[in-house]
Structure 1
Amino acid sequence: MRFPTVLLAVALLLPTQIVAQSRQVPVVVEMFTSQGCSSCPPADSLVRDLSTRSDVLPLSLHVDYWDYLGWKDVFGSSDNTQRQRAYIASIGGRTIYTPQAVVQGQAGIVGSHGRDLETLITKFRDGGTKAQIGARRAGDTVEITIAPMQANLPRSEVHFVQYEPRAQVNILRGENAGRTLTYANVVRNWSTLRDWDGRSAVSFKAGYGKNLPVAIIVQARGNGPILGAATLR
């Protein structure tokens, strides 16, 4: 009976495609931070702690406006700075600062205030997810589905975020000179895939570039409330 053996051998020779499925995450925390900020390491430590949990997605967004202090943040981005500035119009505030945590696109606090941060995470987690997101990666393509979980959701944008789970940096100059800092969920690319009307279920595909974990975030236009998020590794 060599037939099953032959079938097995043929099957092993066929090309395989790894398929990954997404996981819905109730709460998104955006931590605006900088390697040139001496007040930021405690907030960065909070992000590392939060990154081990299943009920929250913390993202480190390194800004570039402290680079003049003597150390150019290796992850610093003017896009991250602009995103933080946009939150002034949507959630209030007089100016941008680090560390700042923005929770679910709706509330901003000092990023190192752990108790206040936990209170906001609990509040928005208990408020429930507004948009159901599913994603499936096969090769270099991600298939995404979005559906409303309640009526009258606002028009929104679908964001595609790639992040580095862990990164360690030796700081040579500036306020943190001489320190080796470890970061979690460092945003390396943030792009907007499309608009969503907030009413219809939609399915579409996106290209998968860098071999990094992905977050798919649905957020009301104008840096409004985050309606749903999912991660894909």
Structure 2
Amino acid sequence: MNASPLRLGLASVVLCLAALPAGAIEIRNQADTVVELFTSQGCSRCPDADRLLAQLGAREDIVALAYHIDYWDYIGWEDTFALPANTELQKGYAESWGKNRIYTPQMVINGQSAVVGSDVAEAERAIEQAAPLLPVTLRINGPDSIVFSAPADQELSAAVVWVVPYRARAEVTIERGENSGQALPYTHIVTSRQAIGMWNPAQGAEITIPLEEVLGPNSDGAAIIVQEKNGTLPGRILGASLFIR
């Protein structure tokens, strides 16, 4: 499946694993790259991209996120993970880059560049060219919360701190549409996305994050992302970490 019919109006750092008791959460600090895949269960070319995202997400230097969109639901299968907000985020990226169309599968690398999500060579090339700009760390703060922190850096612009909870994996049997009859695996499935504060280039930021409030019952972990704004639109991602429970 190629471009959507929707038109818009509008290197490597060392991974740090926190030493935690059994049953607690695992923290992965200092990812080099955030890879966001815009995908759909109803898209015939998306399973290859979904598999690639799973492979990338197993790497310690990558935060992988699958944003299931809803604009292909009309072709016969409603994506069980789709969120309207995911489609709006993809539209926001397109508008930020001066584009007037969106498509699946699309991989966005650090909020700055996009490639066809099933193109392994292009994805690897974009990831190799990406570089972290801001060290982002998480630490345990008792049994119920973690603390996000990022230092000041006045060479960068103010940015939003986002929590993006995700479901680690699931399998869905597709009953209609282009992928009808297939039982397809999915990973890093975004379940919500919320802003929790701002990062100030002159002061940095430190934010306490209550685990149960941000995760809810359907998420296995969350990415914490520091992302500039291009006006009201999403800009480049400065840094990210994640935690897994």
Question: What TM-score, normalized to structure 1?
Answer: 0.86
Q: Classify the secondary structure of the residue corresponding to 2:111.
A: coil
Could you tell me whether the CA contact under 8 Å between 1:19 and 1:136 is conserved in 2?
no
Alpha-carbon distance in 1 for matches of 2:92, 2:243: 26
Matched residue type, 2:199: W
For residue 18 of structure 1, report the CA deviation from its aligned partner: 4.2
> Are 2:166 and 1:163 aligned?
yes
For residue 91 of structure 1, report the CA deviation from its aligned partner: 2.4
Matches within 5 A, 1:53-64: 53-64=59-70
Matched residue type, 2:119: H
Name 2:110's counterpart in structure 1. Answer: 104
Name 1:147's counterpart in structure 2. Answer: 151
Choose between structure 1 and 2: higher helix proportion: 1
For residue 47 of structure 1, report the CA deviation from its aligned partner: 0.5
For residue 70 of structure 1, report the CA deviation from its aligned partner: 1.2
Spell out, residue by residue over 1:88-115, the C-alpha distance to the aligned partner (whole angstroms, 9 max, x if none). 1222322111001110000011111110
**Runs of 4+ residues deviating >2 angstroms:** 16-22, 91-94, 136-140
| CA RMSD across the alignment | 1.7
Could you tell me whether the CA contact under 8 Å between 1:22 and 1:136 is conserved in 2?
no
Distance change in 2, residues 1:44/1:21 (3 Å): closer
Alpha-carbon distance in 2 for matches of 1:93, 1:109: 13
Distance change in 2, residues 1:230/1:216 (3 Å): same
Name 2:196's counterpart in structure 1. Answer: 193
Distance change in 2, residues 1:19/1:104 (3 Å): closer
Alpha-carbon distance in 1 for matches of 2:182, 2:45: 13
> Are 2:224 and 1:216 aligned?
yes
Q: Classify the secondary structure of the residue corresponding to 2:96.
A: helix
Question: What TM-score, normalized to structure 2?
Answer: 0.82
Matched residue type, 2:98: G
> Are 2:181 and 1:174 aligned?
no
How many equivalent residue pairs? 214
Matched residue type, 2:167: E
Could you tell me whether the CA contact under 8 Å between 2:69 and 2:84 is conserved in 1?
yes
Could you tell me whether the CA contact under 8 Å between 1:171 and 1:179 is conserved in 2?
yes
Identity across aligned pairs (percent)?
36
Alpha-carbon distance in 1 for matches of 2:120, 2:23: 42
Distance change in 2, residues 1:136/1:98 (3 Å): same
> Are 2:83 and 1:77 aligned?
yes
Alpha-carbon distance in 1 for matches of 2:167, 2:211: 15
Distance change in 2, residues 1:195/1:201 (3 Å): closer
Could you tell me whether the CA contact under 8 Å between 1:19 and 1:139 is conserved in 2?
no
Spell out, residue by residue over 1:80-135, the C-alpha distance to the aligned partner (whole angstroms, 9 max, x if none). 000000001222322111001110000011111110110000000xx3x2222111
The runs of 5 or more residues in structure 2 that have no matched partner are 1-21
The runs of 5 or more residues in structure 1 that have no matched partner are 1-15
> Are 2:41 and 1:35 aligned?
yes
Q: Classify the secondary structure of the residue corresponding to 1:122.
A: helix
Name 1:12's counterpart in structure 2. Answer: none
> Are 2:55 and 1:52 aligned?
no
Alpha-carbon distance in 2 for matches of 1:22, 1:50: 15
